[in-house]
């Protein structure tokens, strides 16, 4: 049976890979995106494209009348600093936008909602790493609160309206099509610097760690999320799956590995630590392996090589 999926944010980095993965399985895909940070050329040619915002009545009507089986929600305001300077805008896109889509989904008979949450921002600092799904939640930015609140809204829609929902809590996703000109996405930024033969800037002493997961592995998790039942739940954690490697890599190690992989010999420059940056972050993907047989397939060196090659070719 052909599944019909609506992928919001499908002109962006992760959403476009999810659209590719669904199409590769013979599904019918519609991408909804306002192109605020995404690019039209990221939308796969075989997908239908609707340019509209997640808050627009048109988005709700599309879900109500589009006969979709799956809503895969990746569109978001995802800049932590913007969320701090304009929390109302963050709330409008990330919370009100989600509710607008869910109201359409419940009227339109959508079977499954898959939500792009973030393991990097919903968990508090302090617990042992890598964080399991049950770890303490204490977001420190409006963006983090909007991701956590979204998970609660989804659980409420599951209870109240029988929607089948799942939240994927991503670690730091990297790979082709990530914007190398923005503030986020250190891998894309470093690759871009290497191509320009600029030094790589590391903030603070570079010992801060992140869990880097390759975007095609993340897309496979989105396929698994569409294919498996979640079942009964007693908390938002029962509806959530960490998507990461569980491996902490420091920014210093990331910079060195990337320079080695691509054979570049550039300086690593130091800049003052940035306020509010987490010291360490990693998520434990054991539940995803146990329940849905998902493990990351692309290791850091291979993923860095592929990302660099893509940026060198297309940027």
Q: Which residue of 5, 6, 7, 11 would you call a contact of ligand NAD, by CB under 6 A?
A: 11
| DSSP assignment letter at 283 | B
Contact status: 13 vs ligand NAD (CB under 6 A):
yes
Positions 104 through 133 that interact with ligand NAD (CB under 6 A): 116, 118, 120
Q: Which residue of 5, 54, 158, 200 would you call a contact of ligand NAD, by CB under 6 A?
A: 54
CB 179 within 8 A of CB 298: no
Positions 232 through 291 that interact with ligand NAD (CB under 6 A): none
Two structure tokens written together for 298 = 């692309």
Element (H, E) at 98: helix 97-107
Two structure tokens written together for 215 = 């975007």
Q: Would you give the binding string for ligand NAD spanning residues 62-101, x where CB under 6 A is met?
A: ------------xxxxx--------------x---x----
Rounded least distance, CB 25 to ligand NAD, Å = 20
Rounded least distance, CB 176 to ligand NAD, Å = 12
Rounded least distance, CB 75 to ligand NAD, Å = 3
Contact status: 167 vs ligand NAD (CB under 6 A):
no
Query: Which string of DSSP letters, residue by residue, matches 208-235?
Result: -EE-EEEHHHHHHHHHHHHHS-----SS
Contact status: 38 vs ligand NAD (CB under 6 A):
yes
Q: Is 22 a catalytic residue?
A: no
Q: Which residue of 37, 201, 249, 250 would you call a contact of ligand NAD, by CB under 6 A?
A: 37
Q: Are strands 164-170 and 240-243 parallel, antiparallel or unpaired?
A: parallel
Segment contacting ligand NAD by CB under 6 A, of 18-26, 30-38, 82-90, 246-254: 30-38
Contact status: 221 vs ligand NAD (CB under 6 A):
no
d(CA 115, CA 168): 6
CB closer to ligand NAD, 9 vs 206: 9
CB closer to ligand NAD, 45 vs 231: 45
Rounded least distance, CB 15 to ligand NAD, Å = 6
Point out the catalytic residue in the list 123, 143, 214, 308: 143
Burial class (CB in 10 A: 0-12, 13-18, 19+), 274: exposed
3-state SS of 265-312 is CCCEEEECCCCCCCCCCCECCHHHHHHHCCCCCCCHHHHHHHHHHHHH
CB 151 within 8 A of CB 271: no
Contact status: 19 vs ligand NAD (CB under 6 A):
no
Positions 292 through 311 that interact with ligand NAD (CB under 6 A): none
Two structure tokens written together for 221 = 């998790």
Rounded least distance, CB 197 to ligand NAD, Å = 26
Element (H, E) at 151: helix 142-161
Q: Which residue of 24, 25, 36, 48 would you call a contact of ligand NAD, by CB under 6 A?
A: 36
| DSSP assignment letter at 13 | H
Residues near 36 by beta carbon (within 8 Å), at least 6 away in sequence: none
CB 28 within 8 A of CB 67: no
Two structure tokens written together for 243 = 């998507």
- Point out the residues that are catalytic: 143
Residues near ligand NAD, by CB under 6 A: 9, 11-15, 33-38, 53-54, 74-78, 93, 97, 116, 118, 120, 170, 172-173
């Amino acid at each position: 049976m052909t599944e019909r999926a609506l992928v919001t944010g499908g002109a962006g980095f992760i959403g476009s890979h999810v659209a590719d993965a669904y199409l590769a399985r013979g599904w019918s895909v519609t991408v909804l995106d306002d192109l605020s940070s995404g690019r039209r050329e990221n939308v796969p040619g075989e997908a239908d494209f609707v340019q509209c915002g997640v808050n627009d009545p048109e988005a709700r009507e599309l879900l109500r009348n589009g006969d979709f089986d799956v809503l895969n929600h990746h569109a978001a305001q995802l800049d932590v600093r913007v969320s701090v300077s304009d929390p109302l805008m963050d709330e409008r896109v990330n919370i009100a936008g989600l509710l607008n889509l869910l109201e359409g989904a419940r009227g339109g008979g959508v079977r499954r909602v898959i939500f792009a949450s973030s393991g990097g921002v919903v968990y508090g600092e302090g617990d042992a790493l890598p964080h399991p799904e049950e770890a303490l939640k204490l977001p420190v930015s409006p963006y983090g609160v909007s991701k956590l609140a979204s998970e609660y809204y989804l659980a409420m829609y599951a209870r109240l309206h029988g929607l089948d929902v799942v939240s994927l809590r991503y670690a730091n996703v990297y790979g082709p099509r990530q914007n190398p000109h923005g503030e986020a996405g250190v891998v894309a930024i470093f690759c871009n610097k290497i191509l320009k033969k600029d030094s790589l800037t590391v903030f603070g002493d570079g010992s801060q760690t992140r869990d880097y997961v390759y975007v095609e592995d993340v897309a496979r998790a989105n396929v698994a999320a569409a294919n498996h039942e979640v079942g009964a739940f007693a908390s938002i954690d029962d509806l959530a799956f960490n998507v990461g490697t569980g491996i902490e890599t420091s920014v210093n190690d990331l910079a060195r590995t990337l320079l080695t992989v691509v054979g570049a010999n550039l300086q690593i420059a130091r800049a003052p630590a940035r306020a509010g940056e987490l010291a360490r972050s990693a998520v434990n993907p054991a539940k995803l392996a146990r329940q849905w047989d998902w493990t990351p397939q692309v290791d850091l060196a291979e993923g860095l090589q592929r990302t660099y090659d893509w940026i060198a070719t297309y940027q």
